[in-house]
Amino acid sequence: GQQVMQIPQYQHVQEGEDFTTYCNSSTTLSNIQWYKQRPGGHPVFLIQLVKSGEVKKQKRLTFQFGEAKKNSSLHITATQTTDVGTYFCADPTGGGNKLTFGTGTQLKVEL
Amino acid sequence: DTAVSQTPKYLVTQMGNDKSIKCEQNLGHDTMYWYKQDSKKFLKIMFSYNNKELIINETVPNRFSPKSPDKAHLNLHINSLELGDSAVYFCASSPEMQPDTEAFFGQGTRLTVV
């Protein structure tokens, strides 16, 4: 079946450093979504990418969809302690509109 | 107002017991889901319902039985609980069965089976 892998699984950074998580699918994706889950919280939708090569920005967050639509990345510039959490990519195009989540990247930001 | 609400937030129970988790959404969405998140944070779909009809049953043991009395509610009943059922269970909803709509998640129910 389809697999969506993310690397790294964990990342510790100092506040102010940049952070990137990579998402790779075994199959070509139509769309890709990104979610953030704070510690003890629930996944919250961040963004959806649809077009090949698409780049979207939300303040310090930059999302990219690969040209072949099999990978995606999330880059955070100058991390802050509020960025702490687990970031998931997700394929929303499974049958029944289910989300197939990536394995997630847990980000810790230290002062 | 909470958009997707689950109860209880925490549930500690002994092996072999039967328990239920309730979920309600006030967003007017047609589609609701149950996801399971294990201790490694992996999130996996269990069930999805569209307008009270089961759409997805992702090879979940039949000890798990979802029930949707109306499109705003999707409850999860678990029989004969096992240690391996310990996880965080998330209810979610989305407005339409299309692959371009975001999902809204409830706050989760942390189930611990002892």
The per-residue pLDDT for range B71-91, each reduced to its tens digit, is 999 999 999 999 999 999 999
Q: Kindly list the residues from chain A whose CB atom is less than 8 angstroms away from the CB atom of residue B97.
A: 96-97
CA B64, CA B107: separation in Å to the nearest integer? 20
Query: What is the per-residue pLDDT for B73?
Result: 97
Please state, in angstroms and as integers, the Cα–Cα distance from residue B95 to each residue in A50, A57, A111, B23, B28, following that order.
Answer: 18, 25, 40, 16, 7
Return d(Cα B41, Cα A86) in angstroms, integer: 8
Which residue of B32, B40, B91, B105 to mutate against A (max A Cβ within 10 Å)? Answer: B105
- Is residue A38's pLDDT more than 70? yes
Going by pLDDT thresholds of 50, 70 and 90, the confidence category of residue B58 is confident
Residues of A with CB under 8 A from a CB of B: 30-31, 33, 37, 41-45, 48, 50, 86, 88, 92-101, 103-104, 106
In Å, how far are A89, B98, B113 from A10, measured between CA atoms?
15, 32, 27
In the chain, the amino acid numbered A79 is T
Using 50, 70 and 90 to split pLDDT, how confident is the model at A92? confident
Question: pLDDT higher for B5 or A96?
Answer: B5
Look at residue B95 in the predicted model and tell me its pLDDT: 87
Chain A within 8 Å of B34 (Cβ-Cβ)?
Answer: no
Residues from chain B contacting residue A96 (CB–CB below 8 Å) = 48, 50, 55-56, 97
Looking at residue B99, its pLDDT comes to 63
**pLDDT on residue A3:** 82
Whether B33 contacts B93, CB under 8 Å: yes
Torsion, CA B54, CA B37, CA B100, CA B27, rounded to 10? 70
For residue A43 the two structure tokens come to: 């996944």
Among A42, A86, A96, select the one facing B105 at the smallest CB separation: A42
* Nearest residue in chain B measured CA to CA from A89: B43
pLDDT for residue A43? 98
- The pLDDT mean for chain B works out to 93
Mutation target for A interface from B43, B98, B107: give the one with most A CBs within 10 A: B43
Mean pLDDT, to the nearest integer, of A65-81? 97
**Looking at residues B29-52, what average pLDDT do you find?**
93
Residue B70: CB partners within 8 Å, gap ≥ 6? Answer: B52
Say whether pLDDT at A37 is over 90: yes
Residue B57's pLDDT band (boundaries 50, 70, 90)? confident
Chain A residue with minimal CA distance to B10?
A40
Higher-confidence position of A30 and A36? A36
Three-state SS at A65: strand
Give the whole-angstrom CA distance, residue A42 versus residue B106.
Answer: 7
